[in-house]
Copies of this chain bind each other. A is one copy, B any other.
Amino acid sequence: MKRAQSETDKALRESQIISAGLDEFYQKGFAAARMDHIGKRAGVSKGTLYLYFPSKEALFEAIIKTVAVPQIAEIERILEGQSAVADTLDVLMQRLPLILRQSPLPKLIKVLIGDAFTFPELVTLYRESVIERSLNAVAAFLQRGVDSGEIQADLPDPAMSARLVIAPVLMSAIWTVVFDPIDGTQLDLEQLFHVHHQQLKRALGLQEISHD
């Protein structure tokens, strides 16, 4: 492999390793993942990995931290906009299939579930920085709809309702990274979130407000 001399080169190499590591951990789990396989996936030798990360564990942690934290921003941005609630929900439900397919988060979820008890502090980190933030953003969004009158249904517990909004996302994530690859199927995410959207609108009693 060419040598990474500059800082940019090194950062690139590091991100290649992280990406290769995520794939290997996703396929095998932490314990069964092999450092030389990660090297092969990243196009470097086993020894090179140790120039970038001091141990398998450190690489694992770096992966979780690198991948998890930045990914949630888009969803927050959508939800925290000030458009009409119905429009925001439109956008969210339309974007989720793509986000689920393109983001590394579903793979990360699979990895974290599998090795949860080996890295509990990473689970906590993930919960706080990804899940709770998402749930809070959804709950706040729902509250905004209630306050503005756009949501007419009685929502006694917006935090729980937020969980119910999110539940199909978790299910889809697991489905796409666990069941689909194994059985060669492909869950129709567009259809799923279309139906979810319809049912949500009824469940929330969502009033479409005319845009003019």
Contact = CB atoms under 8 A, between A and B. Distances in A.
Copies of this chain, complex-wide, total 4
Contacts of A98: none
A170 interface: yes
Interface in A86-145: 110, 112-118, 120, 123-124, 127, 131
21 contacts: A28-B31, A28-B118, A29-B114, A29-B115, A110-B113, A110-B116, A113-B174, A116-B178, A117-B181, A117-B182, A123-B179, A153-B202, A160-B192, A163-B168, A164-B192, A166-B171, A170-B171, A170-B174, A174-B174, A202-B203, A202-B204
A164 B168 contact: yes
A200 interface: yes
A65 B167 CA distance: 27
A160 B31 CA distance: 36
